[in-house]
A and B are shown apart, each in its own frame.
Chain A
Amino acid sequence: MTIFLTITVIVLVFLVIFQIAKASEYVGILKGEKETRQQANKINGFLMVGFLVLGLIGLYWCDELLFKKTLLAHPSASVQGEKVDSILWITLVITGVVFLITQILLFWFSFRYQEKENNKPFFFPHNNKLEVLWTVVPAIVLTVLVIIGLRDWFYFTGDAPKNAMVVEITGKQFGWIFRYPGEDGILGKKFFKEIDPATNSLGLIWKNDSTLHLKDDPATHDDIVMEQTLYLVKGKPVKFIIGSRDVIHDVGLPQFRLKMDAVPGIPTTMWLTPKYTTEEMRKITDNPNFDYEIACDQLCGNGHYSMKGIIKVVSQEDFDVWMAKQKPYYYLAFPDKDPDNKKVDSTAKPTMAAGQLMNKAVAKN
Chain B
Amino acid sequence: MSNEIALGAGAGLSTELASGHHEHHEHHQSFITKYVFSTDHKMISKQFLITGIIWAFLGGLMSVLFRLQLGYPDSHFYWLQDVLGKFWVEDGRITPQAYYALVTIHGTVMVFFVLTAGLSGTFANFLIPLQIGARDMASPFMNMLSYWFFLAAGLVMLSSLFVETGPFSGGWVAYAPLSALRDASPGSKSGMDLWLIAMILFVVSSLLGGLNYVATILNMRTKGMSMTRLPLTIWALFFTAVIGILSFPVLFSGFILLIFDRNFGTSFYLSDIFINGVGALPNEGGTAILYQHLFWFLGHPEVYIVLLPAMGMASEIMSVNSRKPIFGYMAMIGSLFAICILSFLVWAHHMFVSGLNPFVGSVFVLLTLLIAVPSAIKVFNWLTTLWRGNIRFTPGMLFTIGFVSLFISGGLTGIWLGDSALDIHLHDTYFVIAHFHLVMGVASMFGMFAGIYHWFPKMYGRYMNNTLAYIHFWITLAGAYLIFWPMHYEGLAGMPRRYYDYSSWESFKQFADLNRFISTVVIITFATQLLFIFNFFYSIFKGRKVTTKNPWGANTLEWTTPINPGHGNWEGEIPEVHRWAYDYNKDGREFIPQTEPVGADETQH
Whether B57 is near chain A, meaning CB under 8 Å from some CB there, is: no
Pick the contact of A40: B401, B470, B502 (CB < 8 A): B470
**In the complex, which residues of chain A have a beta carbon less than 8 angstroms from the beta carbon of B170?**
299, 301
Contact A21 B467 (CB under 8 A): yes
Whether B460 is near chain A, meaning CB under 8 Å from some CB there, is: no
Contact A302 B97 (CB under 8 A): yes
Contact A106 B467 (CB under 8 A): no
A191 to B419, CA, bound (A): 36
Q: Which 8 A-B pairs have the closest CB atoms?
A: A254-B494, A265-B271, A268-B355, A157-B358, A44-B393, A122-B388, A21-B467, A66-B489
A287 to B527, CA, bound (A): 40
What are 15 of the A-B contact pairs (CB < 8 Å)? A25-B467, A41-B393, A59-B485, A62-B486, A72-B492, A103-B409, A106-B386, A113-B386, A116-B390, A131-B377, A138-B372, A142-B370, A254-B494, A295-B494, A304-B499
Contact A149 B186 (CB under 8 A): no
A306 to B171, CA, bound (A): 17
Pick the contact of A248: B175, B376, B420 (CB < 8 A): B175
- B97, B178, B323, B421 — which one has the most chain A CB atoms within 10 A of its CB? B421
Q: 8 Å CB contacts to A: which residues of B500-522?
A: 500-502, 504-508, 510-511, 514
Contact A25 B465 (CB under 8 A): yes
Instruction: Give chain A nearest CB distance to B471 CB in angstroms.
Output: 7
A64 to B586, CA, bound (A): 49
Contact B391 A195 (CB under 8 A): no
Whether A168 is near chain B, meaning CB under 8 Å from some CB there, is: no
**In the complex, which residues of chain A have a beta carbon less than 8 angstroms from the beta carbon of B494?**
71, 252, 254-255, 257, 295
A59 to B482, CA, bound (A): 10
Whether A107 is near chain B, meaning CB under 8 Å from some CB there, is: yes
Contact B96 A21 (CB under 8 A): no
**In the complex, which residues of chain A have a beta carbon less than 8 angstroms from the beta carbon of B345?**
none
A91 to B273, CA, bound (A): 40
Question: Known: A106-B405, A124-B324, A138-B373. Is A297-B388 also a contact (CB below 8 A)?
Answer: no
Whether A214 is near chain B, meaning CB under 8 Å from some CB there, is: no
Contact B96 A305 (CB under 8 A): yes
Instruction: Give chain B nearest CB distance to A2 CB in angstroms.
Output: 9
Whether A8 is near chain B, meaning CB under 8 Å from some CB there, is: no
Pick the contact of A258: B376, B424, B478 (CB < 8 A): B424
Whether A364 is near chain B, meaning CB under 8 Å from some CB there, is: no
Contact B421 A113 (CB under 8 A): no
Contact A134 B380 (CB under 8 A): yes
Pick the contact of A71: B187, B379, B493 (CB < 8 A): B493
- A37, A62, A289 — which one has the most chain B CB atoms within 10 A of its CB? A62
Contact A302 B169 (CB under 8 A): yes
Whether B442 is near chain A, meaning CB under 8 Å from some CB there, is: no
Instruction: Give chain B nearest CB distance to A101 CB in angstroms.
Output: 9
Contact B390 A121 (CB under 8 A): yes
Instruction: Give chain B nearest CB distance to A179 CB in angstroms.
Output: 15
Whether B263 is near chain A, meaning CB under 8 Å from some CB there, is: no
Question: Known: A81-B425, A107-B405. Is A40-B330 also a contact (CB below 8 A)?
Answer: no
Pick the contact of A297: B169, B178, B413, B429 (CB < 8 A): B429
Pick the contact of B398: A44, A120, A131, A203 (CB < 8 A): A44
Whether B37 is near chain A, meaning CB under 8 Å from some CB there, is: no
Question: Known: A106-B405, A123-B585. Is A18-B534 also a contact (CB below 8 A)?
Answer: yes
Q: 8 Å CB contacts to B: which residues of A144-172?
A: 145-146, 148-150, 152-154, 156-158, 172
Whether A358 is near chain B, meaning CB under 8 Å from some CB there, is: no
**0/1 per residue, A2-39, Cβ < 8 Å to B?**
01000000100010011011101100110000000100
Contact B412 A99 (CB under 8 A): yes
**0/1 per residue, B146-184, Cβ < 8 Å to A?**
000000000000000000000001110001011001001
Binds A, one of B117-125, B135-143, B234-242, B281-289: B281-289
Contact B485 A192 (CB under 8 A): no
**In the complex, which residues of chain B have a beta carbon less than 8 angstroms from the beta carbon of A287?**
506
Pick the contact of B327: A40, A124, A142, A203 (CB < 8 A): A124
Pick the contact of B401: A48, A195, A295, A304 (CB < 8 A): A48
Pick the contact of A123: B355, B468, B586 (CB < 8 A): B586
Question: Known: A131-B328, A301-B185. Is A29-B468 also a contact (CB below 8 A)?
Answer: no
A51 to B79, CA, bound (A): 37
Pick the contact of B474: A47, A149, A264, A289 (CB < 8 A): A47
Question: Known: A131-B331, A149-B421. Is A154-B358 also a contact (CB below 8 A)?
Answer: yes
Q: 8 Å CB contacts to B: which residues of A217-267?
A: 245-248, 250, 252, 254-255, 257-261, 263-267
Q: 8 Å CB contacts to A: which residues of B268-296?
A: 270-276, 280, 284, 286-289
Pick the contact of B465: A22, A66, A103, A122 (CB < 8 A): A22
Contact A146 B386 (CB under 8 A): no
Q: 8 Å CB contacts to B: which residues of A67-94?
A: 67, 69-72, 81, 83-84, 87-88, 91, 94
Interface size classification for chain A? 35 or more
Contact B388 A153 (CB under 8 A): no
Pick the contact of B355: A17, A41, A247, A266 (CB < 8 A): A266
Instruction: Give chain A nearest CB distance to B478 CB in angstroms.
Output: 7
Instruction: Give chain B nearest CB distance to A146 CB in angstroms.
Output: 5
Question: Known: A114-B391, A125-B325, A142-B369. Is A265-B531 also a contact (CB below 8 A)?
Answer: no
Contact B507 A293 (CB under 8 A): yes
**In the complex, which residues of chain A have a beta carbon less than 8 angstroms from the beta carbon of B361?**
153, 157
Instruction: Give chain A nearest CB distance to B370 CB in angstroms.
Output: 7
**In the complex, which residues of chain B have a beta carbon less than 8 angstroms from the beta carbon of A130?**
380, 384
Whether A173 is near chain B, meaning CB under 8 Å from some CB there, is: yes
A193 to B284, CA, bound (A): 11
- A71, A261, A297, A302 — which one has the most chain B CB atoms within 10 A of its CB? A302
**In the complex, which residues of chain B have a beta carbon less than 8 angstroms from the beta carbon of A139?**
373
Contact A21 B468 (CB under 8 A): yes
Whether B366 is near chain A, meaning CB under 8 Å from some CB there, is: yes
Contact B274 A245 (CB under 8 A): yes
**In the complex, which residues of chain B have a beta carbon less than 8 angstroms from the beta carbon of A10?**
527
Instruction: Give chain A nearest CB distance to B529 CB in angstroms.
Output: 12
Whether A348 is near chain B, meaning CB under 8 Å from some CB there, is: no
Besides A106-B382, A115-B392, 6 other CB < 8 A contacts?
A121-B585, A126-B329, A126-B331, A260-B353, A268-B355, A291-B506
A110 to B401, CA, bound (A): 8
**In the complex, which residues of chain B have a beta carbon less than 8 angstroms from the beta carbon of A69?**
489, 493, 510-511
What is the chain B residue whose CB lies nearest that of A150?
A: B362
Q: 8 Å CB contacts to A: which residues of B391-411?
A: 391-393, 398, 401, 404-405, 408-409
**In the complex, which residues of chain B have a beta carbon less than 8 angstroms from the beta carbon of A268?**
354-355
Question: Known: A248-B177, A287-B506. Is A102-B408 also a contact (CB below 8 A)?
Answer: yes
Pick the contact of A102: B97, B327, B379, B535 (CB < 8 A): B379
Whether A45 is near chain B, meaning CB under 8 Å from some CB there, is: yes
**In the complex, which residues of chain A have a beta carbon less than 8 angstroms from the beta carbon of B544?**
25, 29
Pick the contact of A88: B331, B416, B499 (CB < 8 A): B416
Whether B496 is near chain A, meaning CB under 8 Å from some CB there, is: yes
Contact A305 B499 (CB under 8 A): yes
**In the complex, which residues of chain A have a beta carbon less than 8 angstroms from the beta carbon of B273?**
192, 245-247, 264-265
Contact A113 B422 (CB under 8 A): no
Instruction: Give chain B nearest CB distance to A363 CB in angstroms.
Output: 20
Instruction: Give chain A nearest CB distance to B174 CB in angstroms.
Output: 10
A308 to B500, CA, bound (A): 13
Whether A303 is near chain B, meaning CB under 8 Å from some CB there, is: yes
Contact A297 B496 (CB under 8 A): yes
A282 to B181, CA, bound (A): 41
Contact A135 B505 (CB under 8 A): no
A308 to B365, CA, bound (A): 30
Whether B208 is near chain A, meaning CB under 8 Å from some CB there, is: no
Instruction: Give chain B nearest CB distance to A353 CB in angstroms.
Output: 29
What is the chain B residue whose CB lies nearest that of A27?
A: B467
Q: 8 Å CB contacts to A: which residues of B411-435?
A: 412-413, 415-416, 419-422, 424-425, 427-429
A88 to B260, CA, bound (A): 43
A140 to B511, CA, bound (A): 38
Whether B563 is near chain A, meaning CB under 8 Å from some CB there, is: no
Instruction: Give chain B nearest CB distance to A200 CB in angstroms.
Output: 11
